[in-house]
Structures are given as structure tokens and as C-alpha cells.
Structure 1
Amino acid sequence: MVHHAGRTCWRRFAAVLIPGIAASAALAIAMAQGALAASFFISGQRFQVTADTLTIRGFSLYGTVDVPKKGSPVPVLVVGARHATIRGLCQSVVVEVPVLGPQTFKLTGGNERPAKATSMFIDATSESVGQANFRGVDIGVAQGAITKGPVNPGDRDSRFFDPNGVGQQAVSATLTNVRVTAVAVSAGTFNIPGLHEQVMQGRHACF
């Protein structure tokens, strides 16, 4: 049975809202279970990710192109981490819902105890960092020659991956006040203490 409140059809509301937040909700569950595939179609929905501190052992940075399930390919900058420790994690996506207006799905965690991830990749369209400290850094290394940090197997096999393209790698990196607009995040494992998820009326993005 379909329930109505005024002229709002809740089945239609769910049909609109759920695909928009699926990139975040399914992502959190899949990463927590370590079940996210190395190569996958992206939704194309951009979302925000912030961290007070992101500490990485085995850092990589390279460019490629992600392919949405529908729509045009999206050029991205991929941040790779063999091991990552995240303090003050926030992830959000804003979805426009007919009649109800903008709805924000927000995920937070890693405050009292840091979140930890392995084989993590952030596919970003933009990113900013308040302070970046690198150890054993190589800037201008060929993407196909990156060894200190990981390269997503799905990216390496992609026709958009240029092994001669410019990349960066480091033994370790510590990034503070991290702000990223991303289209995809994947990880082999992702442990998030104090995980909290909520849907809020209006625009309440992480930044």
C-alpha cells in the first residue's frame, strides 16, 4: 500500500532519494565489509568528503577517467593509500527531491578513535589541504612506475590510464584540513568507529 501525506508519494520519494544517496550508503556498507570491487561504474553523483587529519603510509597520486553508469566520462585525480588513518571523517551528498526540496545524507565518524582503511582510493574532481607533509616523495614519476603507493587494478587496466602520465608518490603523507569533492571512494577494508548516518532536510554538506 502506498501512503500519501498531502501530495507526497512516499514510494516516489524513496525512488528519487535512494539512488542519490546510494553512492554513500552502499559505499559505507561495502567498505565496512571489504567487499567493494576494484573496478566499478560510478553513479556520477558528486559528494563531499572532509577529514581533520588524513595520515597515509604508501601514498600515490595519479589521473584517470571514471565512467558513469549513465552520462559522460569524468576526469578524476586519484589519491591512493596502502594504509590510511582518518580523524574527524565527514561524508555528505545533497539530493534534490521533488516537492520536499534538497535532502542531505551525511556520514560521520572517527572522532574519539580514528577510522582506518587499507587499499583506499579517492577519485576526486577537486581537493584542498590545509597542510601537506610528505616523506620520501617523488613528484613527476610516471604513473606506470608508481610503487611506493597503490594503483587501483581497475584503473591500471582502464583504457584511460596513461602509464607515461605524470604521477606522484611518497613513503608517507600527513594531510590536515582535507576537503574533497569526489565521485567515488573504494577500499579493501574500512573500519569507522562511532559511525553515524542521517538524512536531513536542506543543505548540510560537510563543506
Structure 2
Amino acid sequence: MNQLRWTTRLRALARPAVVGAVDWNGRMLALAADGPRQGTRWGRSVAVLLPAALTAGALGGAMANGALAASFNVTNSPFTLTSNGVSGTGFGAILNTPPVEAANGSTSTTTAMARVGFASAGLAGLCGIVHQSFAGVPYSLLLTAGQTVTAAPPATVTTDINASNLYIEAPTLTASGSTTLQNAVLGMSADQVMVAGQALNGAQAGGFGLGSAGSGPGGSTVNLAGLNASAYTAEIAGSLTLPALNIRVVPGSATSC
């Protein structure tokens, strides 16, 4: 009887959290399905993959631990992505013209971009900035994690964010400091560039590619300081660890975190 009473109490305590998680998941799915009218769609795949029965306590625990294991996408609206540095293995890049969806729902393939992939990457801090307007009023969504990202990269870069199967699609991607490539092949046919054993989306036979001279997911390596990308897509198809994750909205058009 005592065990029955405790089971009943635990179920009663868990019910509000489950209902809350289901309600949250429903809202996220509705926003993702709403398409272009919602502009930038943060965590679309995370919303789809979140189990309906996930409790609010478990979600809070995952955020506190800084571990997210799902695809993370920011699409159809350019955003700024900066880091003090990136150290990656299994590096590859191609040129392509992916479909870009405008706010009115139309889609074009006229924007040339570099699609860059890492089988495994370490980042020295992360700063993501998305600009969006509501009723004509500009706002900025800021996502920060790890160490503070500075305008000029520090002399010594130590990574504190780990990601696997990281992909960035950007018309502009620069490094303000030194960049080192090892075992890389410039001019490889785009369809032969492999990242984690997979060809990069949008690769065309005969198109320009930067691939690896080695075999396997380790392949080529890249170390760069002061990453600054104006990107349309940032995807973590594997796992992502974000220490000290902070997401906030500020008025105006922010240029730094």
C-alpha cells in the first residue's frame, strides 16, 4: 500500500511537467511548420526530435549540462557567427548555390556560397547574432557559449566547445589570424570531397572543392584564428557541447556579443 501511494504521488508530481513539455513541443512544431512567416527558425530539428514525454526537469538538466545531441539549424536568413578560433579534422569545402527562401516565401538559387564541413571541430568560444524586426522594430538574438569572443583573436587559442559533423554555409567566411591546413587538396572535384564519409550537399561533379589527401574521417586538419562568417546555415548533425550557454534578445541591431 505504501508503495502504491508513493507511485501515485510521483505520477501526480510528474504530470504538470509532462503536460508543459508537450505544450512546448507543440508550439515549437507549429513555429517550424509556419515556414517563412516566422523568419529564422532556431532549433527546428531539435523541436521535431524532442520526445513528447520529455519532462521540464529533464530538459533543464540537459541545458545545464550544456549537451545537445540533435541537428541544430539556422536557415533562410543571414546571421553572424564568430569564434576566437577553430581547430578541426576531416575538413572539406565546396562552392554551391543552395536554395534560399525569402520572407515572402519565394526561393532562389542565385546566391553563391561556400559549404564548409568538419568531421570534428573544437571552437574557442561562440557568438551567434541573428537580426530580425517585429512590427518594424529591430531586435537581435544573441547566442553565446564558452569563452568570450573578442574582436581580435587572443595570441594563444584554447578551444572549449566540441562539435561533430559541423557544417557552415556562408557567402563570406574569413579568419583574422593565421590559418594552417594539413593534408588538404585544393582543386579536388567537389563531388569527391568527403566529410565524415559523406559528400557535401550541393556538390557538383567537376566543381571546385577543397578536400583531404588522407583517408577516413581524420583526413585533413585546419586551425584558424578569428573565425568570422556571414552564414545562412550552421548545422551540427552530430553532437554539440555548449558550456555556459546564454541566449538572449536585445533591442537594436547588435554587432557583437
TM-score, normalising length from structure 2?
0.62
Matched, 1:124 2:170: yes
Q: 1:94 aligns with which of 112, 116, 131?
A: 131
Question: How does 1:157-168 map onto structure 2 within 5 Å?
Answer: 160-168=202-210
Q: 1:59 aligns with which of 91, 97, 105?
A: 91
Q: 1:137 aligns with which of 184, 192, 200?
A: 184
Query: CA 1:125–1:151 in structure 2 vs 1: closer, same or farther (change >3 Å)?
Result: farther
Query: CA 1:181–1:150 in structure 2 vs 1: closer, same or farther (change >3 Å)?
Result: farther
Aligned length: 181
Matched, 1:179 2:228: yes
Q: 1:200 aligns with which of 250, 253, 257?
A: 250
Give the drift of 1:28: 9.3
Q: Which structure's residues are more often strand, by fraction?
A: 1
Highest CA radius of gyration, 1 or 2? 2
Q: Which structure's residues are more often helix, by fraction?
A: 2
Give the drift of 1:29: 4.9
TM-score, normalising length from structure 1?
0.76
Query: CA 1:126–1:150 in structure 2 vs 1: closer, same or farther (change >3 Å)?
Result: farther
Give the drift of 1:68: 3.2
Taking only aligned residues, the RMSD between alpha carbons, in angstroms, comes to: 3.0
Give the drift of 1:65: 2.2
- Hey, what's the Cα distance between the residues in 2 that align with 1:105 and 1:191? 20
| Deviations 1:143-177 (CA, angstroms, capped at 9, x unpaired) | 12224x3476571xxxx531211111241000111
Gaps of 5+ in 1: 1-13
- Hey, what's the Cα distance between the residues in 2 that align with 1:200 and 1:21? 16
Does the CA contact (< 8 Å) of 1:46 and 1:183 recur in 2?
Answer: yes
Query: CA 1:93–1:151 in structure 2 vs 1: closer, same or farther (change >3 Å)?
Result: farther
Question: How does 1:78-89 map onto structure 2 within 5 Å?
Answer: 78-89=115-126
Residue identity opposite 1:26 in structure 2: G
- Hey, what's the Cα distance between the residues in 1 that align with 2:203 and 2:90? 20
* 3-state secondary structure, aligned to 1:175: strand
- Hey, what's the Cα distance between the residues in 1 that align with 2:44 and 2:221? 25
Matched, 1:107 2:143: yes
Residue identity opposite 2:207 in structure 1: G
- Hey, what's the Cα distance between the residues in 2 that align with 1:28 and 1:53? 26
**Which of the pair has the greater relative contact order for Cα pairs under 8 Å at 6+ separation?**
1
Query: CA 1:29–1:115 in structure 2 vs 1: closer, same or farther (change >3 Å)?
Result: farther
Q: 2:77 aligns with which of 42, 45, 55?
A: 45
- Hey, what's the Cα distance between the residues in 2 that align with 1:29 and 1:52? 26
| Deviations 1:27-70 (CA, angstroms, capped at 9, x unpaired) | 69579643328xx9x74210000010111011101012222343
Q: 1:35 aligns with which of 52, 63, 70?
A: 70
Does the CA contact (< 8 Å) of 1:49 and 1:206 recur in 2?
Answer: no
Give the drift of 1:19: 2.4
Query: CA 1:164–1:34 in structure 2 vs 1: closer, same or farther (change >3 Å)?
Result: farther
Residue identity opposite 2:121 in structure 1: A
Residue identity opposite 1:34 in structure 2: A
Residue identity opposite 1:36 in structure 2: S
